[in-house]
Amino acid sequence: MDLQTLTFLFVGVTFALYIGIAFWARAGSTKEFYVAGGGIHPVANGMATAADWMSAASFISMAGLIAFYGYGGSVFLMGWTGGYVLLAMLLAPYLRKHGAFTVPEFISDRYYSKTARVVAVICLIIASVTYVIGQMKGIGVAFSRFLEVDYETGLVSGMVIVAFYATMGGMKGITYTQIAQYVIMIIAYTIPAIFISFMLTGNPIPQLGLGSEMADGTYLLDKLDQVVTQLGFAEYTTQARLSTTNMFVYTLSLMIGTAGLPHVIMRFFTVSSVKAARESAGWALVFIALLYTTAPAVAAMARLNLMQTIDQPNAEQNLAYADRPSWFKNWETTGLLKFEDKNNDGLISYTGDKKTNEMVKVDRDIMVLANPEIAGLPNWVIAIVAAGGLAAALSTAAGLLLAIASSISHDLLKGVWRPNITEKEELRYSRISMIGAILIAGYYGFNPPDFAAGTVALAFGLAASSIFPALMMGIFSKKMNKEGAIAGMLSGIGITLLYVFQHKGIMFVKSTSFLGDMDPNWFLGIEPNAFGAIGAVVNFAVAFFVMSRTAKVPAEVEQMVENIRVPASN
């Protein structure tokens, strides 16, 4: 069976599964729509959390970044993994014990202020919409390859699918859909990795294959260093991100941004108890680790296969453009891979010198999806990867859209502006909010400001500078008052947005390359994607300064915080 037929078959079956689950689990109440009724089993919730967490940035983009930036790209592995541990240990159990539906609802209760709730909603929407934009880039990449159409057509197709099943099922439908998507994702990610690891090193375990010898006796990473340096690229295993300070701050920003992302935090509201929330976190870490420990191997092997296929350093002559393989032609159709014959010799020169490099576009986000094709794996494996890439992009997009919808309908309308609306009206407004968020994110998906993981990193920075400090102070500081929390959130996200707009022009002009050159005007040499950690420091500092000069927290609020912090066994 040919590749296109197999791909349509695999993807069609998975889409039918998602839509079937959405019909079966469609929400009939606000509790089902927001927290899936609050009775999801910890193992199932852990799997759904992993799918929610492992977005297009994790499945599609992260390995692509590591493939091209080696050690420098590991910031995403360290930041995202460490951040989830931070979330599981410091926030999730306490928030679940409080029992709120949403993060802004907790902030409203803890800081005894509707104004704090509105500010939290604004911060949440800014971070979540930015995150959805990153998912839309991933959706466009995956759908364009799957349908063999241009990127823009693929993006529209993906938007329609997301709008359909996310608006129908709410958290209940999304939860069970994400369980199915996780299974598809992990199969799609690990099977090609096993094949390719065995082909290159004889070791079928990718994590071990990364450090194994190849057939010629050379270790895989040594071989990769040799190939890329001969072609004029930086050494793979030592290439760093701009500076040590920048790498540290970037990692910290991703960590605390992870712990402040509302769509992930909401998953812990779907279980029945604090104990179940802790168990969910543990299971989610197990499920996440399966992919995250495989990603470095996928990245290195994909880069080696790409370089050796297009431009072999020791070959007598470069690959002729007329003889380019079928995978090359397929990705050219999407517009994400482009060749320009600068010297008119008909040969493909792929080098680290911008003047002579004829591969004028190799989008980092294609690496995972293209890897099985480059390695010459069977068509059914390639088809599975396409289904997995689509599952990754769709799963997180749905969770983010629910976070946006709940913040508008539950926190703004029900919580502040129209407290007397019926449950049916609240559900309707939630679904309308989802559609609006899809359209806004889709617009920026057509004009992506960055690669998927880069845009997602900005979203993490925005969450780090606004939501995370408010939650931490709300749980661990009984003295923090509403004035301090509000001032902290506004100053944190404000300074982060100012820095991003000043140095990156995000959402107005396309950004430069991932590494690029260090801008002498950057604060301490810190790039815009990493500035969320600095914004968080500003948030904390302003909050405590304002707190020291304003009214004390009411006694009943101090007692509420004390109750939240008391360990619970159920």
Q: What local confidence, expressed as pLDDT, does residue 238 receive? A: 79
Using 50, 70 and 90 to split pLDDT, how confident is the model at 241?
Answer: low
Question: What band does 506 get if pLDDT is binned at 50, 70 and 90?
Answer: very low
Cβ 119 vs Cβ 401: under 8 Å = no
Confidence of residue 504 (pLDDT cuts 50, 70, 90): low
- The pLDDT of residue 511: 39
Distance CA 76, CA 54 (A): 12
Pick the most confident of 162-171, 327-336, 342-351, 477-486.
477-486
Average pLDDT over residues 398-405: 72
Q: Cα–Cα distances in Å, from 282 out to 89, 125, 270, 287, 413? A: 10, 28, 15, 9, 35
3-state secondary structure of 261: coil
User: In percent, how much of the chain has pLDDT > 70?
Assistant: 82
Lowest mean pLDDT across 35-49, 487-501, 513-527: 513-527
pLDDT at residue 315, rounded to an integer: 58
| Six-digit token string for 518 | 């260090």
pLDDT digits (tens, 9 = 90+) for 203-231: 999 999 998 989 888 999 999 998 888 88
Provide the angle, in degrees to the nearest 10, between the axes of the packed helices 555-565 and 103-110. 130
What's the CA gap between 265 and 132, in Å, rounded?
16
Alpha helices in 351-481 (DSSP H): 367-374, 379-406, 423-446, 452-476
Tell me what pLDDT residue 320 has: 85
Question: What CATH number does domain 3-565 carry, 3.30.470.20, 3.30.1450.10, 1.20.1730.10, 3.90.950.10?
Answer: 1.20.1730.10
* CA distances (Å), origin 464, targets 51, 169, 415, 422: 21, 29, 24, 34
Residue type present at position 191:
I
Q: Which two tokens stand for residue 22?
A: 């959405």
With a cut of 90, say whether residue 111 has pLDDT above it.
yes
* Cα dihedral sign, 284-286-291-297: positive
In the predicted model, what is the mean pLDDT of the chain? 79
The pLDDT of residue 509? 35
The lowest-confidence range among 430-444, 481-495, 530-544 is 430-444
Q: Which carries the bigger pLDDT value, residue 184 or residue 449?
A: 184
pLDDT of residue 515: 43
Q: Region of 517 please: left (phi>0), alpha (psi -120 to 50) or beta.
A: beta
Q: What is residue 57's predicted lDDT score, i.e. its pLDDT?
A: 67
Coil/strand/helix, residue 313: coil
The alpha carbon of 538 is separated from its chain's Cα centroid by a whole number of angstroms, namely: 25
Give residue-wise pLDDT tens across range 36-62: 545 678 888 888 888 777 766 677 778
Residue 516 above 70 pLDDT?
no
pLDDT at position 33 = 54
- Position 200: which residue type? L
For residues 470 and 84, what is the distance between their CA atoms, to the nearest angstrom? 17
Task: List CB contacts of 403: < 8 A, sequence separation 6 or more.
Answer: 102, 124, 128, 262, 263, 266
Label residue 167 by pLDDT band (50, 70, 90). Answer: low
What number of CA atoms fall less than 13 Å from residue 475's CA on the CB side?
22
Percent of the chain whose pLDDT exceeds 90: 15
- Which DSSP string do the residues of 51-76 spell out, in sequence order? HHHS-HIIIIIIHHHHHHHHHHHHHH
**Tokens 């794996």, residue?**
377
- Is the pLDDT assigned to residue 142 strictly greater than 80? no
Question: Which pLDDT value is given to residue 102?
Answer: 76
Domain ranges of the chain: 3-565
Q: Are 40 and 48 in contact (CB under 8 A)?
A: yes
Closest CA to 305 of 393, 209, 440, 390: 209
Dist. CA 423–CA 37, nearest whole Å: 14
Q: Which long-range contacts (CB under 8 A, 24 or more apart) does 197-200 make?
A: 197/297, 197/301, 199/375, 200/301, 200/304
* Residues 330, 348: Cα–Cα separation, whole Å: 17
- Ranking 117-121, 325-329, 331-335 by mean pLDDT, the lowest is 331-335
Q: How confident is the model at residue 306 (pLDDT cuts 50, 70, 90)?
A: confident
Tell me the per-residue pLDDT of 473-482, one tens digit each, with 9 for 90 and over.
999 999 999 9
What pLDDT, on a 0 to 100 scale, did the predictor assign at position 366? 81
Point out the least confidently predicted range of 80-89, 176-185, 359-368, 407-416: 407-416
Please state the rounded mean pLDDT for residues 521-525: 76
pLDDT at residue 212 in the model: 92
Neighbours of 566 (CB within 10 A): 8
| pLDDT value of position 480 | 93
